[in-house]
Amino acid sequence: MQKVDLFDYYQNMSGMNVVLAFKGAISQSILVGLAEMIKEKLSAESSQSKTSKKIFSIFVELAQNIHHYSTEKIQISEGKSVGKGIIIIQENESEYLVSSGNLMKSGNAEPILKKCNYINSLDSVELKSFYKAQVKIPRELEKDGGGIGFIDIARKSGSKLDVQIKNVDENSSFFILSVKINKEK
């Protein structure tokens, strides 16, 4: 195993303005711990409670997507496994960027990409209407992800969903979702 040069890693993350980075299994307890850490960090750094709430909510939604939909699973107890992935929050003077990534079945890539493109085609009024319509659909019908959560992320961020899908092999793809949140002025 090659040893990571932590100083270089630290400097690279600092140069990219990384506020938080997590890679691993997203269990419910880890999600709660990370969410609390984000809540404390953002409220301590900023008087922009509206922005902090948006970041917190989007982070939780992205973490839950990894928890539920990542095809890379970690067994945490008998009969219970959780998804593995990565979440990063970056910051500059005017905005935050919240990004997540996880493995998915290659067959799910195109439908999720279509959903995200459709969401990105809607203005705020259309997005609100679409959200209300989707809430009425029974949850069992949205088993593959990309439903209400993505709509909610777009609505809360006020930004387009930046989606990338990288082919890993014939069965797997790596799904990356990033969203910008403007700082309140």
What's the pLDDT tens digit per position in 87-100?
Answer: 999 999 999 999 99
Task: Give the pair of three-digit tokens for residue 19.
Answer: 């506020």
What's the pLDDT tens digit per position in 105-161?
Answer: 999 999 999 999 999 999 999 999 999 998 888 766 455 555 799 999 999 999 999
**Within the chain, how many helices (H) and strands (E) appear?**
6, 6
Give the per-residue pLDDT at 1.
Answer: 92
Give the per-residue pLDDT at 47.
Answer: 55
Decide if 160 contacts 154 (C-beta within 8 A): yes
C-alpha span between 111 and 51 (Å, rounded): 30
Provide the whole-model pTM. Answer: 0.89
Kindly report the backbone phi and psi dihedral angles of residue 90, in degrees, each rounded to the nearest multiple of 5, phi listed first. Answer: -120, 160
Give the per-residue pLDDT at 78.
Answer: 82
What's the pLDDT tens digit per position in 31-90?
Answer: 888 888 887 877 766 556 788 889 989 999 999 899 888 999 988 888 888 899 999 999
List of E strands, the chain: 18-25, 73-77, 80-91, 95-105, 162-167, 172-182
Domains and their CATH numbers in the chain: 6-182 (3.30.565.10)
Task: Give the pair of three-digit tokens for residue 27.
Answer: 């269990």
What percent of the chain is helix, strand and coil (3-state, nearest 5)?
50, 30, 20
